[in-house]
């Protein structure tokens, strides 16, 4: 059995591979049992599926079996369907529902397979080869098994150990196909035990592994075999390339011009690395080269070249030459082995990327969701939200509902990811308000009731509007999240502006006692002071209020005795009083001549703090100031000393050109991500940084060896201003480009158009085209898969083995 493998050469293997790309309809011979057994030849393997003669002509299994005919034929294994008929009783003909496939060699039964183990073409090929290569591929389950085999191989031969997740997978098939070719040269060991993989210290154990154990060179039995892990994706082709590079000599010494040197590696699409040595340092260089060669095994070929043997072709300082197929040679000066290896590895990777080694992978990427909102919403689609807490409106109920009760309406579309993400927050609001709010929480699906949504001027989802009796609906313009919406609803429990009736009430309002419960949601309240005659100023104020509903508490006092407040707070009328009851502060802003927009801005700024804790929610408000941020990143709250230092500097107006703030990593954990991006890893905390988002995008770090005092801070800022400090990071100014390409349907359509013949299509494809057009001229339309295949074939042809693939010879192989 084993000796029969010797007839196979690598070329055979290549042709086998090439067949994979050509799809062909193979017919499945259908025989009676007697007929079938008469066809069996000694030594030849055959897979037969026994089924009742009257069973349906097609089934998924038969489809897959048909597909397996060609690949199995390439391994000399015939395939047949045997129809059990009443006249011929065969013991292989089971009960109707217990049909099985049997593998014979000659007329000896090797193995029987229930059809469900042969679930697809990969499983069929994998199982059949696994059964036939019983001796060549040892199935192991424990570390002890592995060590036994390893020990037995030491000094004799190399071995290939692989882990696949399950038997019958495409990866298993790939291993078996490789074993078919290399089974006599190397000992194969296979496991599906993840524990075994783990115990030999593998990382990323969730994926398949293939190791090459270099045991042949091990002479000391106590010594372990060196291992090389295959890093490429688990395909038959990649395994083949990998094994071939293992076979190649570790280090080759050459004396010719690198221009003319070629080895297997180049053919396999891998680079060659020439280490340039000279007589004087030859021994050391050889050791270095060997070490590099081990590290690059399977990724590049390493050669040692003596500078003296060449006639000064290589520039003096150059010590490394990188050669890749069909590319300019790269002359490098590298002192550090790590960076050399990094350079080579990256080159290999980028080449693979360019060539799109695995088209399947590429198209998978295009179809992989990279939108975090869409993906998370999709993954969460089966979760049952307590939607019953919100009232679902329809075209019929909408008007009546919003007219008869104060309501919040969420306009959304059930196919729209952002809408559905927000719906969760919306429902959370409903949960929090359950039984406490007079506001009715409702929602309407604009995918169903598009007319209602467009009538309400909703053209984009999601949108939230508040309908209150006797008022125009107010659009919610805050963050699409539970907290902000809750705040909006709570602050809108009362109507704005609050009409203050007396001086006493005004004082109560300013001290925060009038609407005490609302101050959980707002830190600032605004009081507009107008004399009764100031109607235009009042109108402007009332208009500005519409923009700020749900952000601040707004009141108005316009009685005749308003002068009392005016003089008490030194506020020339008309004026705004900004009260921060928590801090006990009341600030006055004269309003004379200010436009609506100006009033809005004043009130929006009023919400801002002098030295805020930056959060995800409030950052945009501070970014609007367009000043560099002076942020203290802290793990927890900040020290009193630092707060004092900053507040002092603010008072001294030393920080006017900056926005001083701090960030608590406990409240805003994403700050860690920011820090890592600045420092590469998490720096010691607290960390004071100046982030200049707007001009230049530079980030400066306050020296970690200094303590943050007023003095140190001022001198650091001065140094910054003088340009004496170096930024630790320049923020990327890169535009946001498409994350991935799109399908180029236009080119695909061009390729399918008969008047635009694709020039790059290899000749073999043209031949098949010809055949097809001869077959049926009445077929003007391309069949569904053809053009895609055309693209694939074009792609295959770029591979190094295309020439062999075109060789028109067919193989009859025997086992």
Partner 1 sequence: MGCRGSGLLAAPHRDYCVLGAGPAGLQMAAFLQRAGRDYAVFERASAPGSFFTRYPRHRKLISINKQYTGKANAEFNLRHDWNSLLSHDPQLLFRHYSRAYFPDAGDMVRYLGDFARRLGLHVLYNTTITHVTLDKDPQAWNGHRFVLTDHKGQVYQCSVLLVATGLSVPTLIDFPGSEHVEGYESVSVDPEDFVGQSVLILGRGNSAFETAENIMGVTNFIHMLSRSRVRLSWSTHYVGDVRAINNGLLDTYQLKSLDGLLEADLKDLALVKDSKGKFHVTLKFFLGETNASWSADSVRLPEDDSDNFAMRVGYDRVIRCLGWKFNFSIFDQSLRLSSENEFNKKYPLIKASYESKGSRGLFVLGTASHSVDYRKSAGGFIHGFRYTVRAVHRLLEHRHHGVTWPTTEHPITQLTSSIIRRVNEASGLYQMFSVLADIILLKENATTFEHLEEFPMQMLAQLEPLTGRTAQHGLFVISMEYGKNFSGPGKDVFFYERSVGHTEDAWLSNFLHPVIYYYKQLPTEQEVRFRSPHWPLPRPTAIHHIVEDFLTDWTAPVGHILPLRRFLENCLDTDLRNFYAESCFRFALTRQKLPPFCQQGYLQMQGLAITESLQQHGVESKLLQNYAAATENSSQRTSDRALAPGPRAQSLDSDKEEL
Q: Name residues contacting partner 1, limited to 317-336 (CB under 8 A).
A: none
If one asks whether residue 337 binds partner 1 (CB under 8 A), the answer comes out as no
Q: State in angstroms the smallest separation of the CB of 670 from partner 1.
A: 5
Residue with tokens 């030594």: 43
The stretch near partner 1 (CB under 8 A) out of 162-170, 206-214, 678-686, 764-772 is: 678-686
Are 76 and 810 in contact by the 8 Å Cβ rule? The answer is: no
Q: State in angstroms the smallest separation of the CB of 543 from partner 1.
A: 20
If one asks whether residue 222 binds partner 1 (CB under 8 A), the answer comes out as no
Residue from 158, 401, 482, 687 in contact with partner 1 (CB under 8 A): 482
If one asks whether residue 677 binds partner 1 (CB under 8 A), the answer comes out as yes
Angstrom distance (rounded) from CA 395 to CA 385:
23
Per-residue x/- marks for partner 1, 402-421, CB under 8 A? -----------x-xxxx--x
If one asks whether residue 391 binds partner 1 (CB under 8 A), the answer comes out as no
Are 317 and 333 in contact by the 8 Å Cβ rule? The answer is: yes
If one asks whether residue 60 binds partner 1 (CB under 8 A), the answer comes out as no
The stretch near partner 1 (CB under 8 A) out of 4-12, 127-135, 501-509, 667-675 is: 667-675
The stretch near partner 1 (CB under 8 A) out of 141-149, 218-226, 714-722, 742-750 is: 742-750
If one asks whether residue 62 binds partner 1 (CB under 8 A), the answer comes out as no
Q: Which long-range contacts (CB under 8 A, 24 or more apart) does 22-29 make?
A: 22/768, 23/785, 23/789, 24/70, 25/66, 26/66, 26/69, 26/70, 26/73, 27/66, 28/62, 28/65, 28/66, 28/69, 28/79, 28/80, 28/81, 29/79, 29/80, 29/81
Residue from 222, 504, 732, 763 in contact with partner 1 (CB under 8 A): 732
Residue from 6, 27, 326, 745 in contact with partner 1 (CB under 8 A): 745
Burial of 458 (0-12, 13-18, 19+ CB in 10 A): buried
The stretch near partner 1 (CB under 8 A) out of 17-25, 580-588, 712-720, 733-741 is: 733-741
Q: Which residues contact 193 (CB under 8 A, 6 or more apart)?
A: 141, 142, 163
Q: Which of residues 544-573 bind partner 1 (CB under 8 A)?
A: none
Angstrom distance (rounded) from CA 553 to CA 579:
10
Residue from 447, 503, 589, 728 in contact with partner 1 (CB under 8 A): 447
If one asks whether residue 424 binds partner 1 (CB under 8 A), the answer comes out as yes
- SS3 for 565-583 is HHHHCCCCCCEEEEEECCC
Q: State in angstroms the smallest separation of the CB of 294 from partner 1.
A: 23
The stretch near partner 1 (CB under 8 A) out of 49-57, 139-147, 671-679, 802-810 is: 671-679
Angstrom distance (rounded) from CA 552 to CA 26:
76
If one asks whether residue 459 binds partner 1 (CB under 8 A), the answer comes out as yes
Burial 125-144 (b: 16+ CB within 10 A, else e): bbbbbbbbbeebbbebeebe
If one asks whether residue 342 binds partner 1 (CB under 8 A), the answer comes out as no
The stretch near partner 1 (CB under 8 A) out of 55-63, 177-185, 525-533, 728-736 is: 728-736
If one asks whether residue 375 binds partner 1 (CB under 8 A), the answer comes out as yes
Identify the CA nearest to 100 among candidates 82, 85, 88, 86: 82
Residue from 62, 619, 647, 793 in contact with partner 1 (CB under 8 A): 619
CB atoms within 10 A of CB 751: 19
Q: Which of residues 27-56 bind partner 1 (CB under 8 A)?
A: none
Q: State in angstroms the smallest separation of the CB of 117 from partner 1.
A: 27
3-state secondary structure at position 380: coil
Are 446 and 458 in contact by the 8 Å Cβ rule? The answer is: yes
Are 513 and 582 in contact by the 8 Å Cβ rule? The answer is: no
If one asks whether residue 399 binds partner 1 (CB under 8 A), the answer comes out as no
Tell me the number of residues near partner 1 by CB under 8 A.
94
Q: State in angstroms the smallest separation of the CB of 271 from partner 1.
A: 20
If one asks whether residue 106 binds partner 1 (CB under 8 A), the answer comes out as no
Q: At what angle do helices 170-182 and 121-132 cross, to 10 degrees?
A: 40
If one asks whether residue 607 binds partner 1 (CB under 8 A), the answer comes out as no
Q: State in angstroms the smallest separation of the CB of 713 from partner 1.
A: 20
Q: Which of residues 747-786 bind partner 1 (CB under 8 A)?
A: 748-749, 780-785
Sign of CA dihedral 631, 633, 637, 642: negative
CA distances from residue 503 to 511, 556, 559, 565, 583 in whole angstroms, order as listed? 12, 11, 9, 7, 22
Q: In degrees to the nearest 10, what's the CA dihedral of 580, 586, 592, 598?
A: -20
Residue from 479, 586, 647, 714 in contact with partner 1 (CB under 8 A): 479
The first and second tokens of residue 763, run together, are 């000749």
If one asks whether residue 728 binds partner 1 (CB under 8 A), the answer comes out as no
Residue from 27, 222, 681, 771 in contact with partner 1 (CB under 8 A): 681
Residue from 650, 788, 793, 815 in contact with partner 1 (CB under 8 A): 788
If one asks whether residue 731 binds partner 1 (CB under 8 A), the answer comes out as yes
Q: State in angstroms the smallest separation of the CB of 52 from partner 1.
A: 25
The stretch near partner 1 (CB under 8 A) out of 19-27, 234-242, 264-272, 369-377 is: 369-377
Q: State in angstroms the smallest separation of the CB of 726 from partner 1.
A: 16
If one asks whether residue 379 binds partner 1 (CB under 8 A), the answer comes out as yes
Q: Is the peptide bond before 574 cis (omega within 30 degrees of 0)?
A: yes
């Amino acid at each position: 059995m084993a000796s029969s493998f010797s007839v196979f050469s690598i070329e055979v293997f290549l042709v086998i591979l090439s067949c994979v790309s050509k799809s062909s309809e193979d017919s499945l011979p259908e025989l009676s049992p007697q007929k079938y057994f008469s066809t069996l030849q000694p030594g030849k393997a055959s897979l037969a599926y026994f089924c009742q003669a009257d069973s349906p002509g097609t089934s998924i299994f038969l489809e897959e079996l048909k597909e397996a005919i060609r690949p199995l034929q390439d391994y000399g294994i015939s395939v047949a369907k045997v129809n059990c008929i009443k006249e011929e009783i065969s013991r292989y003909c089971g009960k109707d529902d217990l049909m099985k496939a049997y593998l014979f060699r000659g007329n000896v039964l090797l193995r029987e397979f229930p059809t469900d183990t042969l679930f697809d073409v990969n499983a069929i090929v994998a199982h059949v080869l696994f059964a036939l290569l019983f001796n060549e591929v040892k199935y192991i389950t424990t570390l002890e098994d592995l060590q036994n085999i390893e020990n037995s191989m030491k000094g004799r031969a190399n071995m290939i150990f692989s882990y696949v997740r399950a038997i019958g997978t495409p990866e298993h098939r790939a291993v078996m196909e490789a074993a078919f070719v290399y089974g006599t040269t190397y000992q194969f060991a296979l496991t599906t035990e993840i524990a075994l993989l783990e115990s030999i210290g593998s990382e990323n154990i969730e994926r398949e592994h293939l190791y090459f154990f270099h045991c042949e060179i091990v002479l000391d039995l106590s010594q372990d075999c060196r291992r090389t892990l295959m890093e490429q994706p688990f395909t038959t082709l990649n395994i083949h390339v990998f094994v071939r590079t293992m076979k190649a000599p570790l280090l080759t010494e050459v004396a010719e011009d690198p221009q003319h040197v070629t080895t297997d590696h180049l053919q396999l699409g891998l680079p060659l690395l020439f280490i340039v040595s000279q007589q004087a340092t030859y021994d050391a260089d050889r050791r270095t080269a060997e070490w590099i060669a081990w590290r690059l095994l399977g990724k590049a070929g390493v050669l040692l070249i003596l500078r003296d043997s060449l006639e000064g072709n290589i520039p003096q300082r150059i010590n490394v030459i990188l050669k890749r197929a069909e590319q300019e040679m790269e002359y490098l000066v590298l002192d550090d082995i790590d960076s050399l290896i990094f350079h080579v590895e990256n080159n290999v990777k980028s080449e693979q990327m360019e060539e799109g080694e695995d088209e399947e992978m590429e198209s998978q990427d295009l179809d992989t969701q990279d939108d975090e909102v869409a993906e998370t919403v999709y993954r969460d689609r089966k979760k049952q939200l307590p939607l019953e807490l919100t009232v679902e409106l329809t075209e019929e109920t909408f008007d009546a509902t919003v007219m008869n009760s104060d309501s919040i309406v969420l306009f959304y579309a059930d196919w729209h990811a952002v809408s559905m993400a927000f719906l969760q927050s919306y429902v959370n609001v409903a949960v929090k308000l359950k039984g406490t709010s007079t506001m009715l929480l409702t929602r309407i699906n604009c995918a169903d009731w598009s007319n209602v949504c467009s009538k309400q001027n909703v053209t984009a989802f999601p949108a939230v509007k508040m309908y209150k009796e006797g008022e125009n609906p107010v659009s919610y313009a805050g963050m699409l999240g539970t907290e902000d919406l809750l705040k909006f609803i709570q602050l809108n429990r009362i109507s704005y502006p609050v009409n203050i009736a007396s001086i006493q009430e005004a004082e109560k309002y300013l001290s925060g006692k009038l609407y005490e419960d609302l101050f959980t949601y707002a830190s600032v309240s605004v009081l507009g002071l107008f004399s009764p005659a100031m109607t235009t100023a009042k109108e402007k104020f009332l208009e500005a209020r519409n923009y700020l509903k749900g952000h601040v508490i707004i009141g108005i006092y316009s009685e005749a005795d308003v002068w009392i407040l005016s003089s008490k707070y030194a506020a020339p009328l008309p004026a705004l009083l900004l009260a921060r009851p928590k801090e006990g502060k009341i600030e006055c802003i004269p309003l004379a001549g200010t436009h609506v927009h100006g009033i809005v801005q004043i009130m929006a700024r009023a919400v801002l703090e002098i030295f805020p804790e930056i959060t995800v929610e409030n950052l945009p408000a501070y970014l609007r100031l367009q000043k560099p941020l002076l942020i203290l990143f802290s793990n927890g709250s900040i020290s009193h000393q630092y707060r004092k230092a900053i507040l002092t500097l603010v008072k001294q107006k030393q920080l006017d050109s900056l926005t001083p703030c701090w960030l608590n990593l406990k409240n805003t954990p994403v700050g860690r991500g920011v820090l890592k991006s600045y420092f590469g890893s998490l720096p010691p905390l607290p960390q004071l940084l100046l982030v200049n988002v707007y001009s230049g995008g530079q980030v400066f770090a306050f020296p970690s060896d200094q303590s943050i005092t007023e003095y140190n801070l001022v001198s650091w800022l001065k140094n910054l201003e003088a340009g004496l400090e170096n930024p630790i990071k320049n923020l990327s100014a890169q535009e946001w480009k498409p994350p991935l390409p799109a399908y180029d349907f236009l080119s695909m359509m061009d390729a399918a158009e008969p008047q635009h013949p694709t020039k790059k299509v290899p000749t073999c494809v043209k031949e098949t085209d010809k055949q097809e057009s001869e077959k049926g001229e009445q077929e003007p339309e391309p069949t569904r898969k053809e053009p895609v295949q055309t693209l694939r074939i074009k792609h295959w042809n770029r591979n190094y083995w295309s020439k062999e693939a075109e060789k028109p010879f067919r193989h009859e192989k025997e086992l």
